[in-house]
């Protein structure tokens, strides 16, 4: 446990801790949406200088609770006590004035503006741009978050963009910072640096509320964890004293399934082949692809690792048929499909799960039944151009039940689901169509550990039935768990495939960061494989 400085002396005993006024205390917090109780009589204490984890499945109430603390949502009942005094937090500006900051999972930055300009837009105080640039440099050096305030955001890596968000938060001198899935898009090296920064902040008395589905991170970083299940607090634990399995059981209330990998017994024929694919992006913030070669074989899962913004979106668009290119060829079961669009490729048996859930994976204001029909109409859900509503509803219900999607039913609008539950529905919709080749982007992003293990096992089982699967993910742990081979996409170039069992997270992380010289790669290769 970290020493508490600033306002504090390290607390070594539970008895002493009881006499310290908490930085934040929640008493009997409740929030309902119609008949759904998102938060139900929640009590929580966060001490000064403490890194406190909030654990729970998708739909457990974590996001609602954080929004209440940050003033983005108002509780129906209960008290918020800040440094011993009851407060009413009407909006985020009021929260920031108290000393509460939040860094969201999805960044809110303008691509064409500089780092300093983006930070200026998010501050409540007025700053001269030159003066602000100097403050940014000071804070970035103090907390080990180097960033050039003059750089435009579109030129930054995902890790650097996160630094911008954190620095913007730190410039307001918060006493408590809420971090929502902060490592979901970072390399292992960037995660280590982030943890150093958070521990430094805690040592200075800053409290941190940390939301993550990565239990090994919780164990390494957090002093205490509060478990939420179905909107209620079910326990408080010290993560370092629990195994990841014990934490997972507390979260989901049951034993976790274990992964089962079995060898594919059929012939490993090439189902999808990409030859010398090139693409010149006309988007000033896009990435051009150079000489992409790739083979997807029956019964095999190929993982592509890479930091967001290195060409993943462009590659997915070309493979799915959303975009076409005149340079290079794509073959599906030996047939050249380079000039076929997305619908024509789907007709042949190509399934596709995009990264963006709302807008591309699902239409927000359409029901789950309607969203199911959008890609699954090929499964006998229509005849003579007319929708068979009963079959469409039955398909949606089957998807909801098989993938344990928490929703009001097939009539529920897509936007009414939590991110993780919508992801389960979209992945399930594609799997239930029995594709020959399945391309999946970020399959378990934001999905709780129980659901993510189910999705990963489902992908493994699907591949062993002879389906060729391509998984593009920024979660290295996920790729190592399910992939038979790994490639790395960096600056629009795809590496040669590496058997998963013959590499490790450090080596892949270096490739993701664009470090390709022989010395660096050799150094990584000498590192003992990491358990991921």
| Domain range summary for the chain, segments of one domain joined by + | 14-21+48-74+88-252, 262-349+436-532, 360-434
DSSP conformation letters of 59-81: TSSHHHHHHHHHTSS--SEEEEE
| Interacting residues of 22 by C-beta distance below 8 A, sequence separation 6+ | 45, 46, 47, 48, 81, 84
Task: Provide the strand spans (E) within 47-175.
Answer: 51-56, 77-82, 85-87, 100-103
Q: With left for phi above 0 and alpha for psi between -120 and 50, is residue 107 left, alpha or beta?
A: beta
Give Cβ neighbours of residue 354 (< 8 Å, ≥ 6 apart): 316, 320, 360, 361, 441
**pLDDT value at residue 111:** 85
Q: What is the pLDDT of residue 191?
A: 82
| Predicted confidence (pLDDT) per residue in 377-398, tens digit | 999 999 888 999 999 999 999 9
With contact defined as beta carbons under 8 Å apart, do 424 and 447 qualify? yes
Quick one: how far is CA 158 from the chain centroid? 12
Tokens representing 299? 């019964």
| CA distance to 143, 228, 264, per residue, from 415 (Å) | 38, 23, 38
Sign of CA dihedral 441, 353, 298, 329: negative
CA dist 180 and 63 (Å) reads: 8
Residue 210 CA neighbour count, 13 Å, CB half: 30
Token digits for 28? 């009997």
Alpha helices in 222-322 (DSSP H): 244-252, 312-320
Class of domain 14-21+48-74+88-252: alpha beta
325 secondary structure, DSSP code: -
Q: Copy the structure tokens of residue 413.
A: 């609008």
- Distance CA(141)–CA(198), nearest Å, equals 14
Helix (H, G, I), strand (E, B) or coil at 382: strand
What tokens appear for 215 in the block? Answer: 């239990």
What's the rounded Cα separation, in Å, for the pair 118 and 398? 45
Cα–chain center distance at 91? 26
CB 207 within 8 A of CB 176: yes
- Give one DSSP letter per residue of 92-103, joined into a string: HHHHHHHTEEEE
Classify 137 as helix, strand or coil.
Answer: helix
Tell me if 469 sits within 8 A of 302, measured CB to CB: yes
Structure tokens at 281: 């992006």
Give all strands (DSSP E) within 432-473, no chain letters: 437-441, 468-473
C-beta of residue 44 within 8 angstroms of C-beta of residue 104: no
Low-confidence ranges of the chain (pLDDT < 70): 1-19, 184-185, 187, 255-259, 446, 515-532
Instruction: Assess whether the region 14-21+48-74+88-252 and the region 262-349+436-532 belong to the same CATH fold.
Output: yes
Residues 367 and 374: their CA atoms lie apart, in Å, by: 11
Report the CATH architecture of 262-349+436-532: 3-Layer(aba) Sandwich (3.40)
The candidate with the shortest Cα–Cα distance to 4, out of 220, 223, 221, 202, is: 202
**pLDDT, position 141:** 87
């Amino acid at each position: 446990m970290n020493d508490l400085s600033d306002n504090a002396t390290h607390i070594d005993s539970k008895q002493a801790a009881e006499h310290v006024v908490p930085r934040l205390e929640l008493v009997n917090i409740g929030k309902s949406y119609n008949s759904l109780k998102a938060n139900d009589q929640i009590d929580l204490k966060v001490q000064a200088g403490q890194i406190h984890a909030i654990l729970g499945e998708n739909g457990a109430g974590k996001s609602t609770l954080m929004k209440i603390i940050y003033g983005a949502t108002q509780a129906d009942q209960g008290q918020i006590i800040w440094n011993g005094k009851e407060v009413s937090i009407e909006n985020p500006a009021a929260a920031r004035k108290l000393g509460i900051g939040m860094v969201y999972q999805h960044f809110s930055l303008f691509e064409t503006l500089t780092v300093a300009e983006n930070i200026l837009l998010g501050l409540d105080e007025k700053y001269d741009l030159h003066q602000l640039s100097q403050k940014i440099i000071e804070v970035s050096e103090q907390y080990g978050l180097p960033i050039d305030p003059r750089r435009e955001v579109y030129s930054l890596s995902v890790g650097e963009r996160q630094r911008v968000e954190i620095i913007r938060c730190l410039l307001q001198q918060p006493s408590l910072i809420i971090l929502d899935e902060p490592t979901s898009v970072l390399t292992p090296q960037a995660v280590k640096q982030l943890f150093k920064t958070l521990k430094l902040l805690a040592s200075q008395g800053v409290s941190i509320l940390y939301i993550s589905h990565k239990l090994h991170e919780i164990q390494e970083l957090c002093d205490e964890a509060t478990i939420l299940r179905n909107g209620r607090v079910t326990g408080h634990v010290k993560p370092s004293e629990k195994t990841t399995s014990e934490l997972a059981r507390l979260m989901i209330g049951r034993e976790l399934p274990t992964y089962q990998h079995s060898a594919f017994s059929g012939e490993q024929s090439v189902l999808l082949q990409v030859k010398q694919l090139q693409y010149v992006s006309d988007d000033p913030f896009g990435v051009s692809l150079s000489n992409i070669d790739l083979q997807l074989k029956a019964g095999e899962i190929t993982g592509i690792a890479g930091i967001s913004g290195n060409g993943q979106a462009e590659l997915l668009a070309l493979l799915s048929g959303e975009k076409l290119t005149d340079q290079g060829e794509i073959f599906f079961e030996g047939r050249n499909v380079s000039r076929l669009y997305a619908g024509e490729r789907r007709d042949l048996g190509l399934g596709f799960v995009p990264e963006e859930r709302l807008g591309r994976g699902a239409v927000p204001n359409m029901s789950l039944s309607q969203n199911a029909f959008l890609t699954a109409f090929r499964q006998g859900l229509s005849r003579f151009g007319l929708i068979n509503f009963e079959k469409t509803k039955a398909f949606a219900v089957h998807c909801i039940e098989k993938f344990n999607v928490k929703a009001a039913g097939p009539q529920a609008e897509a936007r009414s689901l939590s991110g993780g539950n919508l992801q389960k529905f979209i992945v399930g919709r594609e799997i239930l169509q029995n594709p020959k080749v399945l391309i999946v982007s970020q399959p378990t992003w934001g999905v709780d550990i129980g659901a993510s293990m189910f999705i990963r096992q489902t992908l493994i089982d699907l591949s062993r039935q002879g389906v060729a699967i391509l998984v593009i993910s920024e979660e290295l742990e996920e790729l190592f768990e399910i992939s038979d081979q790994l490639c790395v996409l960096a600056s629009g170039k795809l590496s040669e495939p590496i058997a998963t069992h013959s590499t490790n997270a450090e080596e892949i992380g270096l490739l993701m960061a664009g470090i390709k010289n022989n010395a660096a790669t050799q150094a990584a290769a000498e590192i003992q494989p990491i358990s991921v």
